[in-house]
Structure 1
Amino acid sequence: MPPSSTAVRKTVEAYLGRHPGERDALAELLGALDRPVDTTARTTLPEHVTCSAVVIDRQGRVLHIRHRATGGLILAPGGYIEPQDRTLLAAAVREVTEEAGIPPDALCLTRQLLGSPIDIDVHGIDASPSKGEPAHRHYDVRYAFYLSGEEPPTIALQDEEVSGAQ
């Protein structure tokens, strides 16, 4: 069962406690959380929540992958929340595992945030007639992880969604 609107609101409000200047940018998301809709569902329009994982190695390098769905944009691993994701954090971990093949036990949360998002990015998504989707907004909840091992794990890209990594 995906996170409830109450759980998403709690995450957003905690984030806004650290970044109060972003309240206006997230006002529409807060309004959507007051409506009886599942803001984590891909079909909820004109906006919905997605999750990403910012993966940092011991040298301070950040993993970026080339997403096919975005026309090849280079972004952090991430995507839609699935029904089996119990939390937003779990969705971010699942996405990095699916897209880059990095197992959950290779990831450590940052001490400073203890599992709180480092960013909530608001960005527009172009219409996709082939998917029957109109233009809409993503509220991408981004979590930071350090790699736990001395050596970075082998990257195993999910071919249908990802075309490269750096």
Structure 2
Amino acid sequence: MSVRSAAPGVLHDDAVAVLSSWRAPDAGQERLRRDFLRHLAEHPAAGMWRECAAGHLTASTAVLDASRTRVLLTLHAKVKAWLQLGGHCEPGDATLSGAALREATEESGIAGLRLLPEPVQLDRHAVRCHPRGSLHLDVQYVAIAPEGARHAVSDESDDLAWFPVDDLPASADDAVHRLVARAVAASG
């Protein structure tokens, strides 16, 4: 298994610190928090990277407009469903929040996103990014777009669109609905 070379310990240590101090909003989120920390303890060198077949942490962001009444979602090119912005950690990432902001900026084309400092939700889901199957252990943040922000579709998306926070598209799953509800509450 190859491991990313650029200071993997720094990002790992940040993830442990973030998850150790984060107050889960309910019992289910607390179980995920503990599971994510156990994963990091069991995979200290590789648990942040997609090469880790057991799973790996990812960072995503619910991007709200300045009025906090709309959320920017991507029609994911591989999944073919409307999702929040986000993805894998990369060698230059020093923090989970930095990875979340980088991914949101890259995938939205919006400069000047303001990331809220704490995650709002954790989500674990199966993915096809590893040949034998893997899990994304997703740490989910909220970002506020500047007034009048214009987005641009990236290569990772089939489309990108603003949706009212109370009227998400049919292909948005329950995890996206929960994330958007928690994003609105946290951004209040």
Q: State the distance in 2 between where 1:77 and 1:139 align.
A: 15
Residue 154 of structure 2, aligned match among 146, 153, 158: 158
**Counterpart of 1:108 in structure 2: which amino acid?**
R
Taking a change above 3 Å as real, the CA distance of residues 69 and 155 of structure 1, as seen in their structure-2 partners, is same
Give the conservation status (yes or no) of the 8 Å contact 1:4–1:38: no
Residues 15-63 of structure 1 deviation map (CA, whole Å, 9 limit, x = unaligned): 2x24362232343322221133332111112110001111111151111
Distance 1:85 1:68 in 2: 24
Give 1:14-163 correspondences, 5 Å limit.
14-15=21-22, 17-19=23-25, 21=27, 22-35=29-42, 36-57=44-65, 58-70=67-79, 72-103=80-111, 105=112, 107-110=113-116, 115-125=117-127, 127=128, 133-149=131-147, 151=148, 153-159=149-155, 161-163=156-158
Q: What is the TM-score of this pair, normalised by structure 2?
A: 0.72
Per the normalisation by structure 1, the TM-score is 0.81
1:108-129, Cα deviation, whole Å (9 max, x unpaired): 234xxxx11011111112x46x
How big is each residue's C-alpha offset from its partner over 1:92-118, in whole Å with a ceiling of 9 and x where there is no partner?
A: 111112111111x2x1234xxxx1101
Instruction: Work out the number of aligned pairs and report it.
Output: 151
Q: What is the identity percentage for the equivalent residue pairs of Structure 1 and Structure 2?
A: 28
2:57 and 2:89 in contact (8 A); partners too: yes
Extract structure 1 runs of 4+ deviating beyond 6 A. none
Matched residues in 1 for 2:73 and 2:95: separation? 23
1:43-98: CA deviation from partner (whole Å, max 9, x where unpaired): 1121100011111111511110011122x121011000010111111111111121
59 and 49 in structure 1: CA distance in 2 versus 1, 3 angstrom threshold: closer
Contact 2:101 2:115 in 1 (8 A): no
Matched, 1:4 2:11: yes
Uncovered stretches (5+) of structure 2, i.e. residues with no partner: 1-6, 162-188
SS at match of 2:31: coil
RMSD: 1.9
Contact 1:37 1:44 in 2 (8 A): no
Distance change (3 Å), C-alpha of 1:86 and 1:6: closer
Return 5+ residue gaps in structure 1 as ranges. Answer: none
- Provide the secondary structure at the position in 2 that maps to 1:69: coil
Kept in 1: contact 2:32–2:122 (CA 8 A)? no
